[in-house]
Amino acid sequence: MNGPGTNGAAERAPEGWRDLSRFIPWLLGFCVLLVLPWLAVNPYQNYLLNVILINVILAVGLNIVKGFAGQVTVGHIALAAIGAYTSAILSVKFGLPFWLALPAATLVTGLAGALVGIPAFRLEGAYLALATLGLAESVRIFISATDYVGASIGFSDIPPPMLAGKPLGSHIAYYYVVMPVALVGIYLSFCILRSDIGRAFKALREDSLAAAAAGINVRKYKLLAFVISAFYAGCAGSLTAHMSPGFLNPNSYTITEMVTLLLMVVLGGIGHIWGGVIGAVLVTIINDLTVDFYQYRLAIFGMIIVLTVLYMPRGIGGVIDRHFATKRFIALRKAKASVNA
Amino acid sequence: MLEVTNLSKRFGGLVAVANVDLSVRQGEIRGIIGPNGSGKSTLFNLISSVYKPEPGSRIAFDGEDITGRPPHDIARRGIARTFQLLRIFTQMSVLENLLIGHHSHVRYGVGAAVVGAARVWAEERRLKQEMMDLLGFVGLADYAEMAAGELSIGQRRLLALGRAMAMRPKLLMLDEPAAGLSPVNVDKLLNTVMALQKRFGLTLVIIEHILKVVMESCDTVTVLDHGEKIAEGPPAAIKDDHRVIEAYLGKEMADAEVRAFLKAS
Amino acid sequence: MKSASFRASYVLASALLLAAGVPSAPAAAADDVIRIGVTLRMIVENGLKYGQMTKDELEAVNATGGINGKKIEVTLLDDECKPDRGIANVNRFIHQHKVHLVLGSTCSSVSIPMVDVVTKEEVPQIIPHSTNTSITQKGSPWVFRTSVSERFYSAVHAKYLAENVGKKVAYLYTTDGAAISFAKDYMGYMERTYKVEPIYTAQMQETDLDFRSHLLKIKSLNPDVLAIGGQLDAIARITQQSYEVGIPSKVRRVAASAASNAPVPELAGNAAVGLTFAAAFSCKDERPVAQQFVKMVQDKYKVRCPDHDFSQAYETAQIVKLALSRAKLSLTDAALAQDRRAIRDALATIKDYSGLASGPINFCADPTPQCRDGNRTGILVEYTKGGKDYDMRVLARVSFEADFGLAK
């Protein structure tokens, strides 16, 4: 987001170097994530890391459609269910390996995302939320009533990924499947949201009429936002399905889970590029730390949402951004003043 | 350049625009005036396809029929507009507002953007440079990274103008660009508009209540009242038109008084 | 762009490090303590109470010097009947608390994936509430169940009614999952055991209000038993309307287990009298051991009529204590795996345990349903009074062979 002149060294550097240099933070991040599980005290924390990363993928996806494009969807959790069950069916009933089931489930969920997006052509705000809620609940009820996928008891014995004939069943081994996927997911969302597409999404959120007048094809970008976010949901769903012990149940895809997801995006920062990541990490940790007060969890989360909306409407990401933007603005002004003097 | 024929719009029983014909030449500066509720903004909304006109209406731009085309398509063809209530993207940065305006001219596709191809980044640098230049032109370069919502009202009007200019339009429609500004700022804005018009060879259509703006800058003025076109001609002629005076001030006021009033404004 | 990425990845990395570091507080596992992880569905009305009771019962030994001198430490968590919570809880128990035994859970959909986890990690699990037949069919050597499996449950009423009332059964049930399996299991049992077809079956929506047209047809067929599948409202309505259309009271009304919930006798009023259902325990059980237990729960946990969620949790805690007293435990970090194995083997030695369950509880070493479905006795309960001050009595105890319901 740096305008010209604010990043002198990089500005003067040759083009090729600049293109490469933008991968450096990602490589550093990758290295940190690579050693992270070895800092864990016990395998439970490795398990937790996997849950966090899967939630990151889900929340990054939701941040695209909800945070950026401003489409109030409650259907994201159902898309995760579709991804999870598609992957489970493909691998258990059709014997597909995880490495094919994952992309296939992602694609199928993308298509389902397009269907969820269609009501968004005509509906907005609370009405869209209700329409997507209806879709989400019908997916859950359909799963609950379908014996083929284990109905309300659940879908058991979904195999873990195999690598060179060995199952990646332990939490730490699975981490090295989830982590690269999550990192690539974050990177891609970064590319999308920093590009003109991300700007178009934000314009939709703020004022779709003004966006259209500026030449943005509103329907195309709404649909695009739904489809891209559905890819994320499907991918996260598939990763949930194959995580040890390989069990799925429609009860994991209720409105409670959706509220938790929304909380991640709201707390992290609606429309902030890192909003989904920050939110997912924090909420999953809060969720884990408050394990002794589960019965109050929804109340706690509700309170956090209200407080965030009231006192931190741009979320934690927004607070960080504002801090740095103000700093830069002051620095710029000072520099100008000293030149004038 | 813009040919509007027999344009009508009804909202329920209310006729907002009735059989209006409008023809704007390339390079012309056209003023549109009329009392409140006379259908000026509706006319803009019809041209930019925010509303669908009644059957039988026809809007042509550059010789092509654009009646009923979706709004983004109209924008792509080179018709830019500002809104009376500005509708700038307050939560986005000033620079981003301009980049949104430039959306139609972005030269990379979804696929390239998703994977973050090198040319996307190169193109983004070019876009930003170009938009910074434009920001400099409208005098907002210092505020590039500020949220648009933090700008003053005058700066917001400049930003709305900048965003429309970022679309590189052939035809620019300004809906009360100077409303709510102090006289000094009105002059400033007017100068900017005129400078832009000259530099880019724009065709301009301006709705304005501040008659001074219209009288000083427009080549031709169209007057609407109750959705109908009641007069059209050079500012000087319009000033003396009997029907215009009536529309604005009612029948009771003597023409002489009105003229005195108009001169004063 | 660069600085933004740096900043953000810094934030991300520190947050993840926080994630790895913060919840490690109880990591140091003390020697000489028997650690038990309890996860139950506690989000229902009395859930917190039976959860607390289970913890209290286990830790009660600490006041009297523990088991063979070793204290018990219980970690109690709610899984809200959500499998992912159950999986998280069991992972936490095993890896963070390093428990010797897992006790849980309530919902079958939670117990099933827990079984997979404990089997992989080789930790004994004892299940107090879940009834799904497939749980013990997974063949895990680490899993025991004190609740009555569905394979017995679903035949308790069928066996009793066929032998004591009659075999002409009319079925009226809703599209609810539990209602369907109630009706199908009953039909299947009658078909397999007595080669008897239903005299009438009809399925309606849970939300339907008027069942009279079906009930009139049923009346004309003169059945011995009217089987009613549904949730609370549907059971109450069908029961009430069966009297309105004139089905005589000698026709036994038997309903799915939802009938045990208080709203059913309250809604159905006088019509509830004679309504019968299967359960594992009733607070009206007149055996002294049962009445003693009921009084304890009434006094200590303020529950008027503790149901089988309480009795089975209580019983499980007692069986765990018995097994622990038989196991030879080292209780050091190094001997964790060995201790877990010892507890498992001690559980397998439980024979003819007599307590709140209506019949004896038996375990054995084979990882089969025959060995691991410990409780093979259900009871049949009937309402003797409807309305606000409803009452009931135990009609019969029905026991089954270990093999029952397993032949395909």
Say whether pLDDT at B146 is over 50.
Answer: yes
Mutant choice from C2, C35, C89 vs A, greatest count of A C-beta within 10 A: C2
Q: Quick one: pLDDT band at residue C29, thresholds 50, 70, 90?
A: low
Answer whether residue A16 is part of any domain. no
* Mean pLDDT, range C266-288, rounded to an integer: 91
Q: Quick one: pLDDT band at residue B25, thresholds 50, 70, 90?
A: very high
Q: What is the CATH number of the domain that holds C338?
A: 3.40.50.2300
Buried b (16+ CB within 10 A) or exposed e, C82-100: bbbbbbbbbbbbbbbbbbb
Q: What pLDDT score was predicted for residue B264?
A: 59
* Mean pLDDT, range C384-393, rounded to an integer: 90
Q: What pLDDT score was predicted for residue C18?
A: 55
CA distance to partner chain B, nearest, from residue A200 (Å): 7
Q: What pLDDT score was predicted for residue A10?
A: 43
* Mean pLDDT, range B139-150, rounded to an integer: 91
Residues C251 and C236 in one domain: yes
User: Which ranges constitute the DSSP H helices of C229-383?
Assistant: 232-244, 263-268, 288-301, 308-326, 336-347, 369-372
Identify the closest residue of chain C to A295 by CA–CA distance.
C43
> Tens digit of pLDDT for each residue in B169-219?
999 999 998 888 888 888 888 888 888 888 888 999 999 877 778 888 899
Answer whether residue C8 is part of any domain. no
Amino acid present at A29: G
* Mean pLDDT, range C381-408, rounded to an integer: 88
Q: What pLDDT score was predicted for residue C55?
A: 96
Give this complex's ipTM. 0.89
> Tens digit of pLDDT for each residue in B98-133?
999 999 999 898 889 988 888 898 899 999 999 999
Length of chain A: 341
Contacts of A325 in chain B (CB under 8 A): 145-147
Q: What pLDDT score was predicted for residue C2?
A: 41
CB contact under 8 A, A214 and B103: yes
B2-78+169-264: CATH homologous superfamily? Answer: P-loop containing nucleotide triphosphate hydrolases (3.40.50.300)
Residues C156 and C258 in one domain: yes
Comparing C-alpha atoms, which of A287, A299, A181 is closest to residue A240?
Answer: A181
Identify the closest residue of chain A to C121 by CA–CA distance.
A170
| Residue A194 sits at the chain B interface (C-beta within 8 Å) | yes
CA distance to partner chain B, nearest, from residue A210 (Å): 6
Q: Quick one: pLDDT band at residue C28, thresholds 50, 70, 90?
A: low
* pLDDT tens digits in sequence order for chain A, 341 residues long: 333 334 444 444 556 666 677 788 899 999 999 999 988 888 999 999 999 999 999 999 999 999 999 999 999 999 999 999 999 999 999 999 999 999 999 999 999 999 988 888 888 888 999 999 998 999 998 998 888 998 888 999 999 999 988 999 999 999 999 999 999 999 999 999 989 999 999 999 999 999 999 999 999 999 999 999 999 999 999 999 999 999 999 989 998 899 899 999 999 988 888 889 999 999 999 888 888 776 677 788 888 888 888 888 888 888 888 788 778 778 877 887 877 66
Answer whether residue A183 is part of any domain. yes
Answer whether residue A8 is part of any domain. no
Name which of B245-249, C82-86, C244-248 the model is least confident about.
B245-249
Answer whether residue A18 is part of any domain. no
Answer whether residue C21 is part of any domain. no
**Which residue range(s) make up the domain with C167?**
152-284+380-399
Strand B14-24 versus strand B2-11 pairing type = antiparallel
Identify the closest residue of chain C to A240 by CA–CA distance.
C84
Say whether pLDDT at C315 is over 60.
Answer: yes
Answer whether residue C50 is part of any domain. yes
Q: What pLDDT score was predicted for residue A237?
A: 97
Nearest to C109 among A249, A274, A285 (CB): A249
Q: What residue spans in chain B does CATH classification 3.40.50.300 cover?
A: 2-78+169-264
Chains that touch A (3 or more CB pairs under 8 A): B, C
Q: What is the CATH number of the domain that holds A219?
A: 1.10.3470
Answer whether residue C6 is part of any domain. no
For residue B104, how many other CB atoms are within 10 A of its CB?
20
Q: What pLDDT score was predicted for residue A6?
A: 40
Residues C44 and C137 in one domain: yes
Residues B140, B171 contacting (CB under 8 angstroms):
no
Global pTM reads: 0.88
> Tens digit of pLDDT for each residue in C327-381?
999 999 899 999 999 999 999 999 999 999 888 999 999 999 999 999 999 999 9
Residues C193 and C248 in one domain: yes
* DSSP states along chain B: -EEEEEEEEEETTEEEEEEEEEEE-TT-EEEEE-STTSSHHHHHHHHTTSSPPPTT-EEEETTEE-TT--HHHHHHTTEEE--TT----TTSBHHHHHHHHTGGG----HHHHHHT-HHHHHHHHHHHHHHHHHHHHHT-GGGTTSBGGGS-HHHHHHHHHHHHHHT--SEEEEESTTTT--HHHHHHHHHHHHHHHHHHT-EEEEE-S-HHHHHHH-SEEEEEETTEEEEEE-HHHHHT-HHHHHHHH-TTS-HHHHHHHHHH-
Residues C144 and C111 in one domain: yes
CB contact under 8 A, A210 and B70: no
CB contact under 8 A, A217 and B70: yes
Identify the closest residue of chain A to C4 by CA–CA distance.
A1
Residues C87 and C137 in one domain: yes
Distance CA A185, CA A199 (A): 19
More reliable by pLDDT, B61 or C150: B61
| Residue B259 sits at the chain A interface (C-beta within 8 Å) | no
Provide the domain count of chain C: 2
**Which residue range(s) make up the domain with A53?**
46-340
Which tokens go with C146?
A: 């004190």
Q: What pLDDT score was predicted for residue A8?
A: 41
Q: Quick one: pLDDT band at residue B7, thresholds 50, 70, 90?
A: very high
Provide the domain count of chain A: 1
CB within 8 Å of C226: residues ≥ 6 apart: C169, C170, C172, C218, C242, C247, C251, C252, C253, C254
